[in-house]
Amino acid sequence: MSLAASRRDFLKLSTLAGYGAVAAKTLAPAAARAQTPPAAGQTVMGLKIPKMERVRVGFIGVGARGNGHLGDMLKIEGVDVTAICDTHKPNLDRAVKRVVDAGRPQPAAFGDGPEAYKKMLERDDIDIVYIATPWQDHTPQAVAAMNAGKHAFSEVPAAITLEESWALVNTAEKTQRHCMMLENVNYGREELMVLNMVRQGLFGELLHGEAAYIHELRGQMNQVEQGTGSWRTLHYARRNGNLYPTHGLGPVAQYMGINQGDRFDYLSSVSSPALGRPLFAKERFPADHKWNQIKEWKCGDMSTTIIKTVKGRSILVQWDETSPRPYSRHNLIQGTRGTFAGFPNRIALDYKKEELPEPIQKVLGDKARSDYHGWDQNMAPWFEAYDHPLWKRMGAEAARVGGHGGMDFIMNWRVIYCLRNGEPLDQTVYDAAAWSVIGPLSEESVARRSASVDVPDFTRGVWERTPPWGVVS
């Protein structure tokens, strides 16, 4: 959605957010802010709603990500796209045409200014709302959707401040509406396979995880007036921490059962110097370009965060969208019996041959044990033995439709499947809040010389009696 913020608007936003080196000086003590506020309603852990024969979808934002979600919804059975909102008319017109060209009824269109989505939410023919707008708009729009009686599905991150994370939780509990962050990486083939392995106990007792989003995206700065770069660039200029933690963290959190048997306890963060973006601006844009008028770029090129869980596990989280280096999400999980690591995918285990599935035994040949001193990078037998039932069921269709290797389609298909069958969603509002809040809390830690910062318990104790998400099909 084209809601490119002006510099003045963004500075106002930053002040309201209350994070960054300057704002941190005026905050209440971290311990005080980590306290759990009174509940506004009943828990939504495991929330089930009545089955929907058809799911009526409204979209707020149909730019890059929103347009992708729209394409998926037009391919999933039982979905009606009833309304679309976008302030950028070409995006809006393209999306409406796409629906009509698919042989569907023309959806209602809303695009008259940044408040147009509120008019859309007044409609009674919308069950769920997909939100794919600039980061700072996710929480206000999700809260508005839930208060209007709709279920909210937000792009990542779902919130950019601690206060916003609590707003999502409190509103979901008050309204008894689903609020799910659309963390697509949880539905990647490798991530689903590893989840299956973890749930079967293959890695033993879990000890440590590593997660990252290392993806060079400086080219987005070429989007000056409209598009992702037009608003995201200002976040890099004004904030310093891990601004985009969830792609790597989501799968690792699910492996470890975060909010379901364990939870984040505290974190500590450091940032590298902020050099890559100003260098890119100097070399690629005229001297008088607005990117070259930014006097200080605050966000370090590499953000590194260590999270400690209540059960004592550790998680390394990194984020770098600036440095010229190959893509990686790390995706590492380590336990007492072995380790899986991603990019490239590789496995090392400590087992007797006969303790492993037949496809793995064939690879081992005459060996009596698996060799944990070297990596096994041949994934074919591991997929044969441990491919997740969800991927076995929908993987071929997902690969045909596409979208980040099929993970987008699997995620959206699963959302609709759960709603039509009255089943709980795979991700809860507590996940949206906890995974997203690593962003602002990392900012606070950086501003306080990497001091540890407590992570609130958004579940209000429910995590202790909730089993981890199982292996669904």
CA nearest neighbour of 340 among 248, 207, 203:
203
Q: Where are the domains of the chain?
A: 7-11+51-182, 187-465
pLDDT exceeds 90 at position 8: no
Three-class SS of residue 380?
helix
Bridging pattern class, strands 264-271 and 151-154: unpaired
- Enter the tokens of residue 143: 């809260």
Domain 7-11+51-182: give its CATH code: 3.40.50.720
Residue 238 near residue 298, CB atoms below 8 Å: yes
* pLDDT tens, residue by residue, 242-291: 999 999 999 999 999 999 999 999 999 999 999 999 999 999 999 999 99
Confidence of residue 33 (pLDDT cuts 50, 70, 90): low
Confidence of residue 354 (pLDDT cuts 50, 70, 90): very high
DSSP assigned state of 350: -
Rounded to whole angstroms, what are the CA distances from 179 to 87, 144, 425, 441?
A: 23, 11, 9, 21
State the average pLDDT over residues 369-386: 97
Distance (Å, whole) CA 401 – CA 153: 21
CATH architecture of 187-465: 2-Layer Sandwich (3.30)
Sequence-distant (≥ 6) Cβ neighbours of residue 387 within 8 angstroms? 189, 192, 193, 196, 395
- Enter the tokens of residue 395: 């993987």
Q: Percentage of the chain surpassing pLDDT 90? A: 91
CA nearest neighbour of 55 among 33, 21, 81, 89:
81
Q: 275-282 — which CB contacts under 8 Å span 24+ positions?
A: 275/301, 276/218, 276/301, 276/322, 276/323, 277/218, 277/221, 277/233, 277/236, 277/237, 277/301, 277/322, 280/218, 280/221, 280/322, 281/221
pLDDT of residue 15: 37
- Enter the tokens of residue 287: 């001297």
